[in-house]
């Protein structure tokens, strides 16, 4: 595998984005080697990898309910790893497609709505968590499902006076890379929120360590922490968008 292959599989914009997420940062170091082997020695298509990735994620959910946590997290990490490979393979084979984009969204939606909430449900069945908390957590995830695309970017009017303070909030939007590049504090806050909330961040690692070590009390505490951060993130970005829409509707 030469450098040109790596640059096609992992263009600079992808590297800059995924370097910000702890788990993806490490996966990205080895995934191109697997992508190279698949592209060179098989006829497997990117969408096939995507279907397998989604299948692994779906199978992990009942495994959580039945408390087979090791296998559930093994399948989750395989899901995330394959999620890297399908994109790399699509770029190498020049096979990006609408179906691929659709499968990417489905994969993300299943993760955000069901994975952590299935852990909460598992603890409810073990009488370690009240049902109303599980309902609240599921509700937050559903709200995030509908808001996620809407709060991924923001259109900043020319009349809006940007300064170092409000750039902290503007930089929390996923596609506000330029703002974060010019405001270190904004970048730190973004990395904090997204490494907790986003797939490929740090939460999967923390949950795996806590659950596999059978530290269930701390796991439940982290479930609450995760949902509080998720609620804060959605609220802050929604309020910023509403504020700009009301006051700078030009």
- Placement of tokens 């191109």 in the chain: 32
> What span, in angstroms and rounded, lies between the C-alpha atoms of 80 and 220?
23
DSSP state of 96: -
Q: In the Cβ-directed half-sphere of 200, how many Cα atoms lie within 13 Å? A: 19
Residue 220: C-alpha distances to residues 119, 124, 213, 226, 246 (Å): 9, 10, 13, 10, 39
Q: Which residues of 26-46 are buried (b: 16+ CB within 10 A; e: fewer)?
A: ebbeebbebbbebbeeeeebb
- Placement of tokens 């909430």 in the chain: 117
Question: Which candidate, 31, 29, 37, 44, places its Cα nearest to that of 1?
Answer: 37
Question: What is the model's pLDDT at position 250?
Answer: 55
Q: Are 120 and 210 in contact (CB under 8 A)?
A: no
Question: What is the model's pLDDT at position 17?
Answer: 78
Domain count across the chain: 1
Range of the domain at 152: 3-247
DSSP state of 115: I
CATH assignment at residue 196? 1.20.120.1760
Consecutive 10-residue runs of the chain (250 residues): their mean pLDDT?
80 81 90 91 92 97 97 96 92 85 93 96 97 97 93 86 90 90 93 94 96 97 97 95 83
- Both tokens assigned to 186: 């904004």
């Amino acid at each position: 595998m030469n450098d040109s292959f790596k640059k096609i599989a992992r263009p600079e914009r992808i590297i800059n984005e995924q370097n910000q997420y702890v788990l993806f940062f490490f996966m990205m170091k080895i995934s191109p080697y697997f992508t190279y082997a698949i592209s060179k020695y098989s006829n497997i298509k990117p969408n096939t990898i995507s279907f397998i990735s989604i299948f692994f994620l779906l199978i992990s959910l009942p495994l959580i309910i039945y408390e087979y946590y090791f296998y559930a997290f093994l399948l989750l990490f395989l899901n995330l790893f394959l999620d890297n490979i399908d994109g790399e393979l699509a770029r190498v084979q020049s096979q990006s497609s609408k179906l691929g984009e659709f499968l990417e969204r489905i994969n993300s939606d299943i993760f955000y709505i069901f994975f952590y909430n299935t852990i909460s449900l598992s603890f409810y069945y073990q009488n370690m968590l009240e049902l109303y908390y599980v309902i609240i957590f599921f509700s937050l995830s559903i709200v995030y499902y509908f808001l996620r695309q809407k709060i991924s970017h923001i259109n900043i009017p020319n009349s809006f006076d940007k300064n170092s303070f409000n750039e902290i909030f503007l930089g929390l939007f996923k596609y506000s890379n330029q703002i974060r590049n010019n405001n270190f504090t904004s970048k730190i806050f973004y990395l904090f929120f997204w490494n907790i909330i986003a797939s490929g961040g740090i939460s999967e690692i923390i949950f795996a360590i806590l659950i596999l070590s059978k530290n269930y009390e701390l796991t439940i505490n982290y479930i609450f922490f995760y949902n509080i951060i998720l609620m804060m993130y959605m609220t802050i970005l929604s309020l910023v968008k509403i504020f700009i829409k009301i006051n700078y509707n030009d």
